[in-house]
Structure 1
Amino acid sequence: FPQRENNILNIRDLDQGIDNLGDNSKIDIKASDKNEYSNIYIKRDNKPISFGINYNDLGQFDTSRHRLRYFLGTHNIFGLNESLDFSYQNKLQRQYKERDTKNFSFGVSVPFKYWTFSYSYDNSEYLRTIKIQNTKYRATGKTKNQTFGLRKMLHRNENYKIDIGARITLKDSKNYIDDLRLVSSSRKLSVLTVDTTYTGRIFSGLLSTNVGVSFGLERFAANKDKEEWFRNEYTPKAQFRKYNVNISWYKPIDKFYYKINLGGQYSKDILYSQEKIGIGDDTTVRGFKDESTQGDKGFYIRNEIGYKGNQFLEPYIAYDYGRVFNNKVNEDKVET
Structure 2
Amino acid sequence: MKKIIIFLMFSHMVWATESREESYHSTQPSVNSISHIIEKSDEFETHLSPQCLNISSVYIQGNTIFSNDNLPRIIKKLNECITIEHVNKLMRDIKNKYISNGYIMVAVDTLPLNKKRELGISIIEGAVERIDGTDNRTNPHFLFPGVQGKPLRLSEIDQAIDQANRLQSNQVTLNLLPGSEQGMSIINVNNIDAKPWLLSTSVDNYGYKNVDEWQGKTSLTWDSPFKLSDLVTVNFNRTLENSKNRYKYHYTLFYSVPYGAYTFSTTLNKSQSRRYEKLKYQTIMLSNNNERYRIENKYTFHRNSQQINSASANIEHKKINAFINEAKLNINSYQNTVLELGVNHYRKIPNGGINAYLSIEKGIPWLDANRADKQNNRFLPRSDFIKNSIMLSLYRNFRLADSDYQWNSVLAGQYSHRILPGYEQLNLTERGAVRGFSRSGLTGDNGWYSRNTISRYLFIKEMVLIPRLGADAGRALQRKNKEGWRSHAGISTGVSLHYKNALFDLESSRGWHLSEKYHKKEPLQFLFRASYTF
- Give TM-score scaled by structure 2 length: 0.60
What is the match of residue 19 of structure 1?
162
Q: Is the 8 A contact 1:249 1:260 kept in 2?
A: yes
Aligned residues: 333
What is the match of residue 322 of structure 2?
175
Task: Kindly state the Cα deviation for residue 41 of structure 1 after the two structures are TM-superposed.
Answer: 1.2
CA separation in 1, counterparts of 2:152 and 2:334? 52
Kindly indicate whether residue 249 of structure 2 is the aligned counterpart of residue 98 of structure 1: no
What is the match of residue 79 of structure 1?
227
Task: Kindly state the Cα deviation for residue 66 of structure 1 after the two structures are TM-superposed.
Answer: 0.9
1:89 maps to a residue whose letter is N
Q: SS of the counterpart of 1:323?
A: strand
1:300 maps to a residue whose letter is Y
What is the match of residue 217 of structure 2?
69
Deviations 1:125-171, CA, capped at 9 Å, x for gaps: 11121111141111000110000111111101110011101111100
1:60 maps to a residue whose letter is Y
Q: Is the 8 A contact 1:146 1:171 kept in 2?
A: yes
What is the match of residue 165 of structure 1?
312
Kindly indicate whether residue 429 of structure 2 is the aligned counterpart of residue 272 of structure 1: no
What is the match of residue 56 of structure 2?
none
Q: Quick one: structure 1 residues 124 and 330, their matched pair in 2 at CA, closer, same or farther if it must change by over 3 Å?
A: farther
Q: Is the 8 A contact 2:342 2:360 kept in 1?
A: yes
What is the match of residue 378 of structure 2?
233
CA separation in 2, counterparts of 1:279 and 1:77? 38
Task: Kindly state the Cα deviation for residue 224 of structure 1 after the two structures are TM-superposed.
Answer: 5.6
- Give TM-score scaled by structure 1 length: 0.95
Task: Kindly state the Cα deviation for residue 226 of structure 1 after the two structures are TM-superposed.
Answer: 4.1
Cα RMSD between the aligned structures?
1.6
The structure whose residues are more often strand, as a share, is 1
Kindly indicate whether residue 394 of structure 2 is the aligned counterpart of residue 283 of structure 1: no
CA separation in 1, counterparts of 2:343 and 2:408? 22
Task: Kindly state the Cα deviation for residue 179 of structure 1 after the two structures are TM-superposed.
Answer: 0.7
Q: Is the 8 A contact 1:2 1:16 kept in 2?
A: no
1:239-254 → structure 2 map (5 Å cutoff): 239-253=384-398
CA separation in 2, counterparts of 1:315 and 1:92? 28
Q: Is the 8 A contact 2:308 2:347 kept in 1?
A: yes
CA separation in 1, counterparts of 2:278 and 2:447? 32
CA separation in 2, counterparts of 1:148 and 1:33? 43
Task: Kindly state the Cα deviation for residue 233 of structure 1 after the two structures are TM-superposed.
Answer: 1.8
Unmatched tracts of structure 1, length 5 or more: none
Q: Quick one: structure 1 residues 239 and 118, their matched pair in 2 at CA, closer, same or farther if it must change by over 3 Å?
A: same
Task: Kindly state the Cα deviation for residue 220 of structure 1 after the two structures are TM-superposed.
Answer: 3.0
Kindly indicate whether residue 143 of structure 2 is the aligned counterpart of residue 5 of structure 1: no
Q: Is the 8 A contact 1:125 1:143 kept in 2?
A: yes
Q: SS of the counterpart of 1:219?
A: coil
Task: Kindly state the Cα deviation for residue 331 of structure 1 after the two structures are TM-superposed.
Answer: 5.0
Q: Is the 8 A contact 1:326 1:333 kept in 2?
A: yes
Kindly indicate whether residue 297 of structure 2 is the aligned counterpart of residue 150 of structure 1: yes
Unmatched tracts of structure 2, length 5 or more: 1-143, 489-534
1:277 maps to a residue whose letter is L
1:195-206 → structure 2 map (5 Å cutoff): 195-206=342-353
CA separation in 2, counterparts of 1:55 and 1:206? 32
Q: SS of the counterpart of 1:298?
A: strand
Q: Quick one: structure 1 residues 245 and 196, their matched pair in 2 at CA, closer, same or farther if it must change by over 3 Å?
A: same
Kindly indicate whether residue 481 of structure 2 is the aligned counterpart of residue 329 of structure 1: yes
Identical counterparts, % of pairs: 23
CA separation in 2, counterparts of 1:100 and 1:312? 35
Deviations 1:53-84, CA, capped at 9 Å, x for gaps: 11121111122311110111111121111110
Q: Is the 8 A contact 1:65 1:91 kept in 2?
A: yes
CA separation in 1, counterparts of 2:368 and 2:377? 22
Kindly indicate whether residue 286 of structure 2 is the aligned counterpart of residue 139 of structure 1: yes
CA separation in 2, counterparts of 1:213 and 1:25? 35
